[in-house]
Structure 1
Amino acid sequence: MFDFDMLGLAPELDTALTRAGFTQPTPIQTRAIPLAMEGHDILGLAQTGTGKTLAFGLPIVHHLLGAPGKPQPGTAKALILAPTRELANQIAESLRQLTDGTRLRVATVVGGQSIGRQINLLSRGTDILVATPGRLIDLMERRAVDLGQVRHLVLDEADQMLDLGFIHALRKIAPRLGTPRQTMLFSATMPKQMEELSRAYLTDPRRVQVAPPGKAADKIAQSVHFLPKAEKPARLREILSRDLDALTLVFARTKHGAEKLMKGLVADGFNAASIHGNKSQGQRDRAIRAFRAGEITTLVATDVAARGIDVPGVAYVINYDLPEVPDNYVHRIGRTARAGREGEAIAFCAPDEAELLHEIQKLMKTEIPVASGTSPLRIEGGKAGRREGSAPRRPRGGGNGGAATQAPKRRRPRRRRAA
């Protein structure tokens, strides 16, 4: 059995891991940490919720603890870029668990917060800077931060950064970084652009892959309901009513749709809140804190706002609207079954979303078990076509990868206290 104490980490890190309740590394950590500690660039591919933050965080903190000297004013020694405010805050929170009681400082700069306060924070210098690309560029343009001392760069959820167009921001940031440096890129999926990104910014990287890109976590029980769009609200309320105490994350496609859905749930007596781009950072932070504490049991979110939600107790993810980008389905359902726990992902598929479901199943190389309704698609030679009045086809062979005619009944996963 492989334990953290076998990695040769600094004593302060062993203490921090014990204090936080971490004893055994996950597969991505087992494979990535030793290579990163040797100084290699890393291209890490793993399902969301498998412990990528520690996979890059532990080696960086280990190296910084062994490096003499404090950061100079306005500088940072390590830079971690994340696509959303929520993910940046989550990463910083995890890193502070590792650096608590040490001389290392962790700073976070994201949009939606006072840039003046962030300028004052950076004026003192920091060991690790966690940032969203847009706000970091704002600070660079104001000459509030000098990245010339950065020797460790991490691009977390890099595929999402590509989707959001942050590649242009990265092109502005990268030339300002110090050299030589170690660069680590982590992602749950591997689109073609990711290979290009790897070639542009990584030097002789070690590829660490613990699951095929696009594959959902094994402990997520998936199902899909085929139904008209007009029936989605009633079906959602029916499902939520079965387990009112379970933490449930509901995904909507648009900001307006998420807010409307949340208000309707609250009006019907459900304990719900929402996070999306029209919410202030303070509102989003408060909603996530309440959700994590169980004060809010249903959180309605859009894709961008929800990236970075790391709540171990999420029992269910409901795709009220299917995402237009298939990769986002994998990211969405990865909000449940975190760190080896069990979880359930339920999708609603209206007739006009059938092609979206087909692309999602094509990405994952599996069919999602059908909980109710009839699929309008048939798969012939990899193409989707209309199918009138017939039941969904049962794939050959069965097994975990096959689709059942009827999905198992919704059950309440066993809750476990977060480590």
Structure 2
Amino acid sequence: MKAIPLPSTSHQPQPYTGPSAEQVLALRKQYLNPGLFLYYKKPIMIVEGKMQYVWDETGKRYLDGLGGIVTVSVGHCHPHVLAAMTEQSKTLQHSTTIYLQPRIAEYAEKLASKMPGDLKVCYFVNSGSEANDLALMMARLYTGNYDLIALRNAYHGGNASGMGVTAHSNWKFNVPHSFGVHHAVAPYPYRGHFGYDDPEAGRKYADDVKNLIDYATPGKVAGFIAESIQGVGGFVEFPQGYLKHAYEHVRAAGGVCIADEVQTGFGRTGTHFWGFETQGVIPDIVTMAKGIGNGAPLAAVVTTAKIAAVMTQKVHFNTFGGNPIVSAIGKAVLEVIEKENLQANALKIGDYILAGLEKLKARHKVIGDVRGKGLMLGIEFVKDRTTKQPGKEECAQAVENARELGLLLGKGGLWGQTIRFAPPMCITQADADFILAVLDGAIGAVGQTG
């Protein structure tokens, strides 16, 4: 593969003087859970990051095309976020919600201002898994119903309840879970029964939600949970109208609608601040994490005052939720997104890259589908476009090749057949050109160029 120069940057990384990658790997094998996995045949060790770039221990620079798994929203070590974190840490590092504390109140007001309708009450936790767990409990308490509808190809977390609504065998341990959960057919135009050319695909996929309610539940449900664009499933974008019709079926059965915005929120789709807005709906409960804190352990559930009131029935407490430091970080992230127009940048650069991916699809037969919105884009690999046999090995090799050329990417889909591209939203036009050139070379080296 021909080397492709990265766009220039003024940032000079500090000389690294810590343990070698080999030493760290040995420590990891001895002291960390073996269930943790590593990307790449030769593991990469990241020791510094600045905006859209990261550096390994040798000083090699990479463009972070995965954004720390769709988490670094405004850029690694963004100066405004760092300043907010540093200033708060000087005065108070920790205070729980049993005391008044200004940072959590100010942040909740700022976050609520970004929400449509009556979604104005915030509950802060530490991760997306916790947020989804809390949202599911709220749905059951508020409705008095138990059954839940989720989607196949979905991912909602690694705790027991999150695993229960997840529908990917790769992420589900053989332990009791999924009680009362029913998984509807995924609205997956590339692999589903109704494709991109069917204008009624959204309604037709949503019919399966109604079918599940009628046949697999008592006719009443607690709620419906769906990612606005499926993340781990391979950045699968739903056909227009899907959430509208699904929400109608669920609400008619007494349920509430939960939007999992852990990966799609905070302007990443470009056209809207929240992923659910791309479908023209307003959910009853919204969960969010990852990009909310630009890497800090912060997540939230936002709902209506009426639904939130069910939490007063018992004592419920999160020790670290709304910690002063992460609240200051969360507010700073929102300020950066506004001041630097990152949502508009996600739309502009995302549209440019997506157009380039369509051209790559025409050139490379291993690409079966390209899709997504803004800076949340998927490239699905196949061994054959007619059979759509998943191209797991081809995808893995393309990701390896891209790493060699200085671009870090993610993988998704049940078979690991889809490249997930979700960089910090501060990337530039020069970065976009670099990305497309790297992908062309990385995928071309896999073979089967048209």
Q: Same fold (TM over 0.5)?
A: no
Higher relative contact order (CA 8 A, sep 6+): 2
Output the TM-score relative to the length of structure 2.
0.33
